[in-house]
Amino acid sequence: MSRLPPLSIRYLALAFIVGLLALTGLVGTMAGYQTRSVAHSMAQRAQDVARTELTAAVERLVGQMTARAQALAEWDETRQQLVMSEYYTHWRDHRVYENRMINGPGNRVALYAADGRILAPTATGPAMPAVFPGGWPADRIIARLVRNGNATMLDIAFPLFSDAHRHALLGHGILRVDFMAALLEQNTLHFVDRNSIRLHMTANEEIDAADLLSRLTYAPLPNADQERFLSILSRTLIALLGVLGIAAVTGLVVYNRLLVRPLRRLSLDIDAMQQGGFPTEGMRTQPMQIVELENVRRSLYDYQLQLHKLHGSLEHQNREFRSQARQDALTGCYNRRAYDEDWETLREEMKTAPQSVAFLLFDCDRFKAINDTYGHARGDRVLTLMADALVMALRAKDRLYRFGGDEFATFLVGATPMQARQIAQRCQNLLDASVFTDLGINEPVGISIGIAYCPANEVEQVDDLPKRADIAMYAAKKPGNDRIAMYGEDIDAASQTLVASRETSALFQALSTPGMIEMHYQPIHALPERQIEYYEALARIRYNDALIMPGAFMPVIGSRRLETPFDLAVLQQVDTDLASGQLPRGCGVSVNLSAQSICKPEVVSQLLELSRHNDRHPLMLEITETSLITQMSDVRTYLELLRTVKYRIAMDDFGTGYSPLRYLVDLPVDVVKFDISLVNKLGRDDRAGRIVADFASMMGNVGYSLVAEGVETEAVLQKIEGLGIAHAQGYLLGRPTPLAAIAGGVASTARRA
């Protein structure tokens, strides 16, 4: 059942008033109709009463006149005139009146002899027929109406007999009266308009009295009470309708003023509130005349006021939070969130107002070492001082963003490449001038700066600026550079070369195509048994039936910052290989993992998934390039987590610049893999060889399990065995081999056994 849409109270009120008026009109119409019906009924009743009255009056008149005629007929003096008519005129003109046989001068009587002759002609008054009408019955009384001139006479003719048996006819008599005068003289008409009575007869026409009523027309006398009643009723109805109409209009006005307008005002105020506005006039200053509405208005206003205050408070807090959310708590500069917002804003502005932009990426050199060496508090202080120096070096309108750790960035709108480089140089100069000795840090603290530039006419490249600056920053970190690198022709050329190379294509294809990365496994032998205990999983890319070795694609990974995707692909392939069951049970597998990937949740998740093979194949993670670890605490946490699922942690390439000794202290490392450069020194019998040997011996004594990489000669192997190093790896013991080959070797060994 569909609901009606909400209606406006104004229209409801209007509909109600219109309905009320319509209903009033209907009632008035019905009342008017009923009144007219009653009036018609009363008029009909009056007509009937008038007809009855007039009929009775006529019958009474005829009856009276007939009775008079009858009395005349039976009056002795009447018969006397027919016997002796000498004094007939005296009788006619006096006696009949004296004796009240007839009354009124308009009434006349005439007597006729048996032969029809009148006894004496009339001299005055209405003329009487000279001869008794021959067509009239002679033996009974009859009543006839005769049109005589302008008057209509009622003639009552009566026979006169001398005997009781009515055998001896003496003559006739005619009693004549003026019908209308006699009728009106009765004075008994109370319901008939006397002036309206008309008797329609033609000249000299003669009709029987029985037909009299059909010739009479009349009008009922207006009933004053009835007309007064109807008039009062009509006036009352009109007054009632008028009062109702006025009341309806007044009610509408009052309703509109007292309810509709305030409600509309409330509604508009509420709408304004919903739009975020706050009415300061109507709702607050104009009280409403309806108590309930006034209460609603006050409550709403108070509520809105409180809400407004709360909103203001929230707005303030929001600004505070937003400010705090955009500010780096440690350094006071803008944080990554502010960067994202400002960068997005800039991108949008660039679409409409293109201008040149230079993106500067700052990274503190050896901050990890400083942090580890002097503690986090001092490390944080170094970051603060560094941020202060950078902010001071930037232009007033430029903002410094901290991405995390020791990485900062800024973008210089409208700057030329030269200006960008000058600003970068100023940053380095200020930082170099900063004194960190107060913090107890005596070694120099420097930064590497990568610059990417986008001219105004190439705004479509603005999205590539962060990436380019990152590449430039890594270029700046390379030994030999002046720690400021601008993404430009040289870097771009190298990048383009990499991108255009076969290895690059193979790498990107391998990352998106499962199976293209092929794992080769190089055995790690336990000493002195020289038995295979682990295999180190080494990635190869099979591309167009050829293998691309790590030396070819690893630079691309580094330059493209593809460490994490590559590591995920490797872990996926190792998982597949382990699940295939081709490796001998009990043989461990060591997997290389870049320092950048170890703190990535998706990598950790993949490792946790891979840990299900630990019971069959003990797993070991070889962390490479540990010097690039920036979030030491997070890495430590993840490594501790992985150790709980039986991973062993190995520090790879120990002895190179990527794996400093200090990281060995902070990271939960189980195995230390001596880089081949150190292993080669073991073979020499000089001071370096002794230092390495002693160092290896010392580490073995404190519980680290050592693995010697790059063992290529028997002499080195023996030396290693002599130093008590538990494991060795190198071409001497076994080259990296495809999984299928390992499986085949295992199978043939089994067959030989």
Which positions touch other proteins (CB under 8 A)? 75-77, 79-80, 83-84, 86-87, 90-91, 95, 98-99, 162-164, 170
Using alpha carbons only, how large is the chain's radius of gyration in Å?
Answer: 68
**Nearer of residues 168 and 325 to other proteins, judged by Cβ:** 168
Work out the angle at residue 623's Cα, subtended by the Cα atoms of residues 617 and 628, and round it to the nearest 5 degrees.
165
The type of residue at 78 is T
- 469, two tokens: 């600056």
Shortest spacing between CB 120 and other proteins, in angstroms? 14
**Comparison of 73 and 283: residue with beta carbon closer to other proteins:** 73
Measured CA angle at 451 (ends 450, 457), to 5 deg = 155
The encoded tokens of residue 738 equal 């495809």
**Residue whose token pair is 């780096």:** 328
Q: What is the closest distance, in whole angstroms, from the C-beta atom of residue 114 to other proteins in the complex?
A: 11
Measured from the CB atom, the residue of 16 and 97 that comes closer to other proteins is 97
Q: Name, in order, each residue with C-beta under 8 angstroms of 751's C-beta and a sequence gap of 6 or more.
A: none
Smaller CB distance to other proteins: residue 76 or 292? 76
Phi, psi dihedrals of residue 737, rounded to the nearest 5°: -130, 140
Minimum distance from CB of 67 to other proteins (Å)?
A: 16
How far apart are CB 107 and other proteins at their closest, in Å?
19
Q: Which is nearer to other proteins, 77 or 294 (CB)?
A: 77
State the Cα–Cα distance between residues 182 and 360, nearest whole angstrom.
136
- The residues, ordered by sequence, that sit 6+ positions from 516 with a Cβ below 8 Å of its Cβ are 506, 509, 510, 541, 542, 543
Q: Which is nearer to other proteins, 77 or 271 (CB)?
A: 77
Q: How far is the CB of 70 from other proteins (least distance, A)?
A: 14
Q: Which of 263, 250, 269, 270 is nearest to 289 (CA)?
A: 263
Least distance from other proteins to the Cβ atom of residue 102, Å: 15
**Peptide bond connecting 528 to the previous residue in cis, omega within 30 degrees of 0:** yes
Specify the DSSP element, H or E, that contains 447: strand 447-454
**Rounded to an integer, what distance in angstroms lies between the CA atom of residue 260 and that of residue 246?**
19
Q: How far is the CB of 105 from other proteins (least distance, A)?
A: 19
Tokens 């001038």 belong to which residue? 433
Between CA 625 and CA 270 the distance in angstroms is 63
Residue nearer to other proteins on the CB measure, 162 or 611 = 162
Helix (H) or strand (E) holding 534: strand 531-543
- Which residues have a Cβ under 8 Å from the Cβ of 612 and sit 6 or more positions away? none
Q: How far is the CB of 163 from other proteins (least distance, A)?
A: 6
Which residues are paired to 392 by β-bridges?
A: none
> Cβ 99 to other proteins, closest distance in Å?
6
> Listing from the earlier edge strand, what are the strands of the sheet with 484-486?
401-404, 407-413, 357-364, 447-454, 484-486
Cα 693 to the chain's mean position, in Å? 76
Chain-centre distance of CA 241, in angstroms? 47
Nearer to other proteins, 88 or 674 (CB): 88
CB of 117 to other proteins, least distance (A): 16
**Contact by Cβ (8 Å): 175, 69:** yes
Which residue, 9 or 169, has its beta carbon nearer to other proteins?
169
For the bound state, the minimum distance from the C-beta of residue 93 to other proteins, rounded and expressed in Å, comes to 12
CB of residue 129 to other proteins, shortest distance in Å:
24
Q: Which is nearer to other proteins, 97 or 403 (CB)?
A: 97
In the complex with other proteins, the residue whose CB is nearer, 49 or 71, is 71
Of 75 and 534, which has the nearer Cβ to other proteins?
75
- The DSSP 8-state label assigned to residue 223 in this structure reads -
For residue 724, give both structure tokens: 């008590």
Residue closer to other proteins, measured from CB, 72 or 221? 72
What is the nearest approach in angstroms of other proteins to the Cβ of residue 141?
Answer: 19
Burial code of 434-469, b = ≥16 C-beta within 10 A, e = fewer?
A: bebeebebeeebbbbbbbbbbeeeebeebeebbbbb
Nearest Cα neighbor of 673 from 684, 658, 689, 690 is: 658
